[in-house]
A = this chain, B = another copy of it.
Amino acid sequence: MASAKPASGEDSLIARYFRPLATDPGAFRLDDDAAALKPDGDDIVVTVDAIVEGVHFLPDDPPDTVARKALRVNLSDLAAKGAKPAGFVLALALRSTDEAWLKPFAAGLGEDAMQLGCPLLGGDTVSTPGPLMVSVTAFGRVPPGRMVHRSGAKAGERVMVTGTIGDAALGLAILRGGKIHAATDNAARELLVGRYRVPQPRLAMAEIVREYASASMDVSDGLAGDLTKLCGVSGISAVIDLERVPLSGAAADLVSRGIVGMEALLAGGDDYEILCTVAEDRVEPFAQAARRAGVSVGSIGTVVAGSGAPKFVDKAGRELALERLSYSHF
């Protein structure tokens, strides 16, 4: 991003909407070709996630929620890796410079950047004839060598997950209309759609994950598929108690009425919760630390030796058959 005198359309757009967000000294007021991150002895953790109109968000989603989601899905990765946010850069592909869209987009982005402690460092704004796309690369800091990996889960450990699972998938289903929309009241709809549009990255968990978890990732593509990935990289498997997978009241209600099945919630994606494994004797202090940080955690199953896909078992001991594990783009 760059300013200019006389300003081109792109430059005046940046000056108007994005410069006010670039409060970090390393952003150089977006007046330069690049930003600078100062070393402080920590490792810099880097994550990138792009969201595409019609794929990750809907054309009529409020622009401020599109901005928040683009940033927050990246902050969710940082939290799961045990990292504290340090800043982000943005690549934004727009069809036009529509002020009615850009103004709330930038306002939402700025609010989140401030509140979540992750300043805008730089970016690139380009035109596209196609769907809007927002690509964020976010940076976090961890003490040297302390990034928490997907690998490292060991047999005997407990599988832990923050928050509740499946709400965002239900929110998306509500926005698309159909039976889940018909089966929910306004309060449930608002909660579930909110979970789809504006994830809550578990930043307060970063240090706790670093302290207690052997392996960790965020749940973005669906609990079943993401746990399968964690198991694959760790070289282990897992058995999950379906009953213990934490659900919101709204989701539990839909399941108990037979309107949705657990498999849809487990494979739904967009949860942005933290999935991690913790040694049995550390589960209690881990859960206490999480509670003190204001985050609920559930102990949903056990890591077991083996290389098969994790099993999801109901209270009668029956294994749930999952036709698909998670969202895949292709």
Point out residues on A near B: beta carbons under 8 Å.
2-6, 8-11, 13, 28, 31-52, 54-56, 77-78, 80-81, 83, 89-91, 93-94, 96-97, 121-131, 133, 135, 137, 139-140, 142, 144, 147, 149-151, 217-218, 225, 228-229, 231-233, 307, 309, 325-326, 328-330
Contacts and interface: CB of A to CB of B under 8 A. Distances in A.
A55 B282 CA distance: 54
Given A6-B309, A33-B81, A144-B39, A135 B50 contact: yes
Given A50-B126, A130-B131, A330-B9, A39 B41 contact: yes
B46 A121 contact: yes
A150 B2 contact: yes
B44 A44 contact: yes
A226 to B, nearest CB: 8
Given A121-B46, A122-B46, A229-B4, A78 B34 contact: yes
A153 to B, nearest CB: 13
Given A10-B328, A50-B135, A55-B127, 4 more contacts: A5-B228, A35-B46, A46-B139, A137-B137
B43 A40 contact: no
Contact of A128 (B35, B124, B130): B130
25 contacts: A5-B228, A8-B225, A8-B325, A8-B328, A31-B151, A32-B233, A36-B43, A36-B44, A36-B142, A37-B43, A37-B46, A38-B144, A39-B42, A46-B137, A47-B89, A48-B122, A49-B91, A49-B124, A52-B127, A91-B137, A124-B135, A126-B329, A127-B329, A128-B130, A130-B130
B44 A37 contact: yes
A139 B328 CA distance: 29
A147 B329 contact: no
Q: Report the copy number of this chain in the oligomer.
A: 2
A123 B136 CA distance: 11
A215 to B, nearest CB: 10
Nearest to A308: B5
A325 to B, nearest CB: 7
A69 B43 CA distance: 29
Given A2-B150, A149-B32, A127 B39 contact: no
